[in-house]
Amino acid sequence: MSNPETPEKTVALTGFEPFADFRVNPSWEAAKELDGKIVSSFTIKSFRIPLVYQEIKPAITRIVDRENPAIIISLGQSYHPLISLEKVAINLADLTESTTLYNCKTRPQDETLEKQALNAYFSTLPLREILRDLRKNHIPTEISYNAGTFGCNQIFFHLMHKINSEGSKALAGFIHVPCLPSQAAQLRKQGRRIPSMSQGTITNALEIAIKTTTFTAESSNMGAKSY
């Protein structure tokens, strides 16, 4: 296991595989487009996460242990019309009332994600600065205080629990992105109306968010000591 006190100049970016009847997931489409890109001297490494209840924690744990990144941003798909910068992850999985399940068909009910953990963790990404920079670039963005109780909140919570329990100096958090136009068109045929955002806008938003976060990392004590 890498020493969390000396993180690498790497941004680990995760996106989920498609779920439900979709053939794509905008979170992974954006993540893979940024894979290998260098932003402010930080190298982006992208990873696809299975939307399988028992596999999410091992997947994010392996990524953090192997890559020891200075920044970890997990992404997921929402049905909102804007980029949602998630503030808080809660120690709960619950799909009791949901019509959408994990790809393994699991339906957790009032399930505690981590038995020996806090009830909630906050993102350590510079959310206000990201919000400012995205809005400066005319990208509709919000800070959200509800990441749900599905796979997105799950990976967010496992990530933040690991970071906090190890005393890692990494900046970590979760961002929801809107559906793609192709997904909106697919659901429109089924009589549902959902907002969408172009792949180019989503990818541009994430690159701006990463650039803002690298500036914070470089400016922090972590950056001064490690780099």
The catalytic residue positions are: 86, 152, 176
By the 10 Å C-beta count (0-12 exposed, 13-18 middle, 19+ buried), 101 is classed as: middle
Q: Specify the pairing of strand 83-86 against strand 42-49.
A: unpaired
User: Could you give the CA distance from residue 89 to residue 45 in angstroms, rounded to a whole number?
Assistant: 23
In DSSP terms, 74 is beta-bridged to 14, 174
Sheet holding 8-16, edge to edge: 38-39, 42-49, 8-16, 69-77, 171-177, 83-86, 141-144
